[in-house]
Amino acid sequence: MEKELKTYVWGIPTRLFHWMMVVSLVGAYIAEEDYLTLHVAFGYTAGILIFFRLIWGIVGPKYSHFRDFPMSIKSITGFIKGLGKTGKVYAGHNPPASVVMLGIMLMVVLVAISGMLTLSQEGGQGLLKSLTLPSGIEFKEIHEVFVQILIGLTILHLLGIISDLILHKSASVLKSMFTGYKTGIEEENAGMNGFQKFFSFVWIIAPLVAFYLTITGPPILLKDDEGEDGTTEMVDEEGEGEEGEED
């Protein structure tokens, strides 16, 4: 019986990161301002996850390392010309997927930072609350623009997964994000050294701790517009207001 070809591509840390990021982004989007503390908790989780993922792209194993992302013009054009034909099947990210994934990572960073700046500007809370922010810039609007761009890139990512399911059933990216293996390909298996194992442990635990501390801490409040009576209303995630006298 002929041995099935398969390659171990995505280690447990990378797969956990992927699905934790999915939960974090979807959770933050659903929660929005109606459940602001939960929204911020998911936002911190996504921000910490992507921070470690960027480092993982430098110190991580094969296929997760940025040097394994084939993003040259030649690679991209060659991949597009070979669509629907029998061509090279990449064990890791293919060229277009590499570009989209880096775009998603960048957008998550910008969404997280703009979200923290919004929290500082409108509520005087969060990790960046001590910053002196420039006047005349609505960080909430910038945050929403980055969110829309991230949604667009996510749709491209999903379309890529669907096309991959059609063109490369045996080496499906979606299946590999559950099992870690791509079948029908025989390449070098991904592995981790001691430092990478320790790093990945911290990578997974840190965002979980941040989520817990945020969700169990004081509720996140935002300042509403100043009323005619000279008071400032603080709005929490349930949409209920508390009035306080202006200094």
Spell out the residues 6+ positions from residue 20 whose beta carbon is closer than 8 angstroms to its own.
Answer: 45, 49, 204, 207
- The answer to whether residue 41 sits within a structural domain is yes
**Which residue has 């320790």 as its token pair?**
198
Does 190 map to a domain? yes
Domain membership of residue 244 (yes or no) is no
Contact between 211 and 41 (Cβ < 8 Å): yes
Asked whether residue 165 carries a pLDDT value surpassing 50, the answer given is yes
- What average pLDDT is seen over the chain? 85
Statement: residue 243 has pLDDT above 80: no
The total of structural domains in the chain comes to 1
- Alpha-carbon distances of 74 from 54, 63, 65, 81, 163, rounded to whole Å: 25, 19, 20, 11, 21
Instruction: Return the pLDDT at 121.
Output: 87
pLDDT value at residue 225? 42
Q: Which tens digits make up the pLDDT trace of 218-237?
A: 998 877 544 444 443 444 54
- Model pLDDT, residue 3: 63
Q: What is the pLDDT of residue 85?
A: 64
**Residue 108 phi, psi (nearest 5):** -65, -40
Residue 35 is encoded by which pair of tokens? Answer: 């459940």
What does residue 215 show for φ and ψ, rounded to 5 degrees? -70, -25
Q: What local confidence, expressed as pLDDT, does residue 50 receive?
A: 97
Burial of 113 (C-beta count, 10 Å sphere; 0-12/13-18/19+): middle
Q: With respect to residue 53, please indicate whether it lies within any of the assigned structural domains.
A: yes
In a domain, 180, yes or no: yes
Task: Please give the torsion angle defined by the CA atoms of residues 165, 149, 43 and 206, in that order, rounded to the nearest 10 degrees.
Answer: 60
pLDDT reading at 141 higher than 80: yes
**Does the residue 227 lie in any domain?**
no
| CA nearest to 31, candidates 223, 217, 204, 215 | 215
Q: What is the DSSP letter of 182?
A: E
pLDDT at position 168, please? 67
What is the average per-residue pLDDT within 101-110? 96
What range defines the domain where residue 141 resides? 6-73+85-220
Residues 130-134 have a mean pLDDT of 79
Spatial distance between the Cα atoms of 214 and 170, rounded to a whole number of angstroms: 42
Residue 247: inside a domain = no
Q: Is residue 61 assigned to a domain? A: yes
Phi, psi of 222 (to 5 degrees): -120, 145
